[in-house]
Amino acid sequence: MNPLHRLLKRQLRRFANETIPLIEEHSEFIRAINDAYWQFDADRKMLEHSLELTSQELLDKNAQLTRINTELERRVLARTAELSRSEARFRGLFEDVPLSIWEEDFSAVRQNIEKLRASGIEDLAVYFDEHPEAVAENAERVRVLDVNKATLEMFQAESKDELLEDLSKVLGPDSVTPFKEELLALAQGKTFFENETVNYTVHGERRVVFVRLSIAPGYEQTWEKVFVGVSDITEQRQ
């Protein structure tokens, strides 16, 4: 029999005069209770040890997560700085290149073309010939995101706001047919298109221009970023 557990001794001591015959008469029962006390202590120590291990593991995992988060933050900061530098370089090239460049969003145009196809229209060329107003509506869906300095110079605008305030004056009445050709090319899956058309400065001066349109890589499915280069070829044509 294991030595009497201290808690069991304390319990038996409360009944000091009655314990001796009790132990003698019920020794097996007392032994079972005593063993249960000792087993409880053993289980408790094992649990405490397990909790200590679990706590240490949690501390280790937290330390590991802290290191990972620190490294991720470092990488994000480095990548953000790199992207900022790239954006600054791109913005410098965009603004200072001696060619008129328009950054545009054609996503609403693409959505409209998909809607037309879903409605059963298979031949867009015939549809646009029969509905020239649909071409004009799609032109209005194009969002001009930005233009560069050369664009302002070409179209004699003092600011981007002045140029973009009313694009119908810049594009002129002859722009519908070239834009229709542009729409059909994009609808056929082309990512590059060029043509010759007529534009006007904000003061109404006529310009013969050569237009090159290109969907930016990665935006082929959405048309959210389209770059349009415009060259003034008025003198050559004259």
Q: What mean pLDDT is predicted for residues 103-109?
A: 95
Q: What mean pLDDT is predicted for residues 154-164?
A: 91
Q: What mean pLDDT is predicted for residues 217-229?
A: 94
Read off φ and ψ for residue 59, nearest 5 degrees. Answer: -65, -40
Q: What is the DSSP string of the chain?
A: -PPPPHHHHHHHHTTHHHHHHHHHHTHHHHHHHHHHHHHHHHHHHHHHHHHHHHHHHHHHHHHHHHHHHHHHHHHHHHHHHHHHHHHHHHHHHHHHSSSEEEEEE-HHHHHHHHHHHHTT---HHHHHHH-HHHHHHHHHH-EEEEE-HHHHHHTT-SSHHHHHTTHHHHH-GGGHHHHHHHHHHHHTT-SEEEEEEEEE-TT--EEEEEEEEEEPTT-TTT---EEEEEEE-HHHH-
pLDDT at 6 over 90: no
Top mean-pLDDT range of 35-49, 58-72, 118-132: 118-132
pLDDT digits (tens, 9 = 90+) for 65-98: 788 888 888 888 888 777 777 776 766 677 888 8
pLDDT digits (tens, 9 = 90+) for 163-185: 988 888 888 877 888 899 999 99
Q: What mean pLDDT is predicted for residues 17-33?
A: 61
pTM, 2 dp = 0.62
Residue 48 CB-density burial (10 A; 0-12 exposed, 13-18 middle, 19+ buried)? exposed
pLDDT score, position 22: 54
pLDDT score, position 100: 93
pLDDT digits (tens, 9 = 90+) for 198-208: 999 999 999 99
Distance from C-alpha of 112 to C-alpha of 134, rounded to nearest angstrom: 10
pLDDT at 23 over 60: no
Distance from C-alpha of 113 to C-alpha of 155, rounded to nearest angstrom: 30
235 vs 66, more confident? 235
